Every structure is written in C-alpha cells, then in structure tokens.
Amino acid sequence: MKRYFVSSVPEYFNPKAQLMHSNRRNFLRQSIASAAGMAAISMFPDEALARGLYNNSTPVEVILKPDDRPVLKKQIKFSIIGINHNHIYGIANSLINGGGELVAVYSREPELLPAFTKAFPNVKVAKSEEEILEDNSIQLVASAGIPVDRAPLGIRVMKSGKDYVTDKPGIITFEQLKEVKKVQKETKRIFSILYSERLTNPASVKAGELVQSGAIGKVIQTVGLGPHRMSPASRPAWFFDPQKAGGVLCDIGSHQCDQFLFYTGSKQAEVNFSQIANFNTPDYPNYQDFGDMSVRSPHATGYIRIDWFTPKGLPTWGDGRMFILGTEGYIEMRKYVDIAGRKGENHLFLVNQKETQYFDCSGVYMPYGEQLVNDVVNRTETAMTQDHCFLATELALTAQKIAHKLNV
C-alpha cells in the first residue's frame, strides 16, 4: 500500500517556500517602485533632470571694482583725545578720507604718541584736553581711549559745542547711557559710535546695499559670529578688567547688535537671553573670553556669539561671519578670511530665487567717514541715526547685565 506523506511544517518554516514568497514580494515591490518612479520623473522639468537634483556648479563670481572717486575737499577740522586702542588709526583715516582735517592729538600716555605721530606726521600734539575743547575752530573730536573714559569725554565734548565719535564700546554702563542721552538731547550735538565691523568693512557695506535693494526679500534673522584671537602679552591691563572695558558682550558684542538692527531695519528690540563665561583665561578670573545672546524685534530675530578662541593656525585675528536670512534668499559674509581658499578679505555670498553669486567686495567704497563729516556740516543723520546708536548700545548693555555667568 502506498503511503502519502503530507508535511506538517508550516509554510513560514519551510525555507524553499519562504524563498519563493520572498522573490514574489521583491518582484512586486520593484515593479511598483519602478512605476512610481517613472510617474515621479515625469513631474520634473527637463532642465532639472539635465543638471541633476543637486547643482554643484561654481557660483557666479562678481568682482566689484573701486569707484573713481575724487579727493574730497576738507570741510571740517577734527582732533583726537585718547589713543589707547589701535582702532583710532582707522577712525582718523576714515574722517580724513571723508573730508576732515586732523589738527591735534592729546594722550595722557605720552608713550603712545610716537607711533601715532609717525602715522600722522602733520598732527599737532596738544598739551592738554582743554586745549582741544577750548579751540573753537575744531568741530569734531574722536577718541579710542580706555572704554570707561569714552562716555564722560563725549559728555565734555558735547558741552563744549563739538560733535563726538568714539570707538566701541562708547558707553559701558546704564548710568553713562542715561547721562549721555540727556546731554545729547540738550546740546543737539552728535554722539556717534564707530561700529567698525559694519561701517568700515566693505563686505558689510555691500550687504547693506543688497538688503536695501530687496535681493533677499524681507530680512527675518541675522546670525553674527565674532571670534577674536587672544594675545595677552599685547594687551594692556585695562583690557582684562570688565569695570574698565565693559565686558565681552558690551564690548565686541555691540558690533553684532548694531548689525542686527541695521540689516533687519529694526527701530526697537529686546534681549531674549545672554551668557558670559571664562572658559580658558585662568590668569584673569574676572575676564570673559566667551559670550552669546539672542535678540528680537517685532519682525526679526538674531543670534550673536562672541569669543576669544581664534586658533593660531588661522592667518588673521578672526573668522568673522554674518548670516542674513530673508524671505527670498540669504547672504553670508566671510569678512576677514575665507577658509575655503579664496584669497584676501571681504567675501560675500548671495543666494536668492534667481541665482547663487559670490562677490569680491574689496573695492567697495565705505561711506561712513564722508557721511559723518557731512552730518557735522549739515546737521543731518546720514551716517547713523542717534536712536540707532543708542539702541545698539542699550542691547549690548542689557545682555551684559542679565547674562548667566559661567566660571566668572
């Protein structure tokens, strides 16, 4: 008698059956995927398929040539009181190129004068601050003295009937800010703070032009990164004292506050949060080598990070970056170096709905000095409005005051 054996092993335990089902499933999946893929491909325009989904082509390069500008005639006379920070050289040159005539300089530290008079050999060395303040032929006073002294000097300058421009930070306490605003309102004199990372940087000037032209639509956020190199041996003692220098956010953070207000067109703003830290400067326990903060206005937000950790391998003092996000595109500035390999400074990248462009901004004219000279003559506010100047300072002071402290 024949016997018929029926396997009692379930199909899912049978290797041969499992393989057959697996092959059928894979075939069905591949067929469906191929059909869906063909349908999806038909939805793409031909030009997209021609260049691929990712376009890695080099951005269009634009090299901005310098304008053929005439030498400006001298419209005002200015003098300098306080040369403690090397930014005074940039301030002086900006005013000279803008139509100012440098008349005199006074420094409480005579050891600082030889280098300055070598750079500006025609300048007269004044014997006192009063000699400059009492000279009625002088219309503007500039300063890069010790930060704690800048606001009080500006008050004396305005009371003497002169306009004033100072290096940042121009004001390091709320008490100073209150008094400066009071005297400025009474005297109607100009109290200007030179936020050089925007006002004397060609890429920053070009970015302002692009924003104003609507190249990226409405600006909704800025991200500003301001790294610096720490060289303790080259810094005076006051640099490490927040009571004299203002603190990291009050000082170099004010650059970024200025840029946030300018690029977003904000007339009012507030600080969301802030932090300051001493991560790696144990010899100066009160010093702050790191700080970050967030700001917002009714229509935009901003993030700011400041630090003193530029490594020695970078060929300049800091890889300063600014990112400006708009509703129709964005801008990135690599102000002082491009670590991707482009030579020099003043690099700007623009991406919008039309194209991707790279701008070499080295030839861009920086109008701040000329504008300030004209403001002194015409009693206008083309270089910077007084409200903007004070609001940028107020944001930096607020961030410094409310900052969460780490190792400080």
Q: For residues 153 and 256, state if they share a domain.
A: no
Q: Which residue has the higher pLDDT, 56 or 97?
A: 97
Per-residue pLDDT tens digits for 305-336: 999 999 999 999 999 999 999 999 999 999 99
Q: For residues 161 and 203, state if they share a domain.
A: no
Which pair of tokens denotes residue 363?
């030839």
Q: For residues 211 and 303, state if they share a domain.
A: yes
Confirm whether 14 is domain-assigned: no
Helices and strands in the chain, H and E counts? 14, 16
| Cβ–Cβ < 8 Å for 347, 202 | no
Domain boundary among 142, 167, 194: 194
d(CA 377, CA 370) in angstroms, rounded, equals 11
Confirm whether 57 is domain-assigned: no
Q: For residues 256 and 165, state if they share a domain.
A: no
Question: Across residues 15-35, what is the average pLDDT?
Answer: 49
Task: Report residue 350: phi and psi, to 5°.
Answer: -125, 125
pLDDT of residue 26: 54
Q: For residues 159 and 206, state if they share a domain.
A: no
Which among 404, 401, 408 has a CA at the least distance from the CA of 172? 401
Confirm whether 151 is domain-assigned: yes
3-state secondary structure of 44: coil
Q: For residues 305 and 355, state if they share a domain.
A: yes
Question: Across residues 344-350, what is the average pLDDT?
Answer: 97
Domain boundary among 194, 212, 232: 194
Residue with tokens 């400025």: 184
Q: What is the CATH number of the domain that holds 140?
A: 3.40.50.720
pLDDT at 16 over 60: no
Confidence of residue 65 (pLDDT cuts 50, 70, 90): confident
Q: For residues 314 and 329, state if they share a domain.
A: yes
pLDDT of residue 67: 82
Confirm whether 36 is domain-assigned: no
Domain boundary among 175, 194, 213: 194
Confirm whether 45 is domain-assigned: no
Q: For residues 244 and 163, state if they share a domain.
A: no
Confirm whether 278 is domain-assigned: yes
Distances (CA, A) of 100 to 71, 77, 153, 282, 359: 11, 6, 20, 44, 30
Confirm whether 321 is domain-assigned: yes
Q: For residues 245 and 226, state if they share a domain.
A: yes
Confidence of residue 255 (pLDDT cuts 50, 70, 90): very high
| Cβ–Cβ < 8 Å for 216, 326 | yes
Q: Cis peptide leading into 169, omega within 30 of 0?
A: yes
CB atoms near residue 77 (< 10 Å): 15
pLDDT at 342 over 80: yes
Question: Across residues 275-291, what is the average pLDDT?
Answer: 97
Confirm whether 24 is domain-assigned: no
Confidence of residue 235 (pLDDT cuts 50, 70, 90): very high
Q: For residues 258 and 158, state if they share a domain.
A: no
| Cβ–Cβ < 8 Å for 249, 224 | no
Give percent of the chain with pLDDT exceeding 70. Answer: 86
**Average pLDDT over all residues of the chain:** 90
pLDDT of residue 30: 55
Backbone φ/ψ region at 75: left (φ over 0), alpha (ψ -120 to 50), beta: alpha
Q: What is the pTM of this model?
A: 0.86
End-to-end CA distance of the chain: 97
Confidence of residue 28 (pLDDT cuts 50, 70, 90): very low
pLDDT at 225 over 70: yes
3-state secondary structure of 328: coil
Cα dihedral: 210, 213, 216, 222 (round 10): 60
| Cβ–Cβ < 8 Å for 119, 89 | yes
Q: What is the CATH number of the domain that holds 356?
A: 3.30.360.10
Residue with tokens 């990291």: 248
**Number of domains comprising the chain:** 2
d(CA 240, CA 125) in angstroms, rounded, equals 29
What pairs with residue 193 in β-bridges?
166
Owning domain of residue 222: 198-367+398-406
Q: For residues 190 and 202, state if they share a domain.
A: no
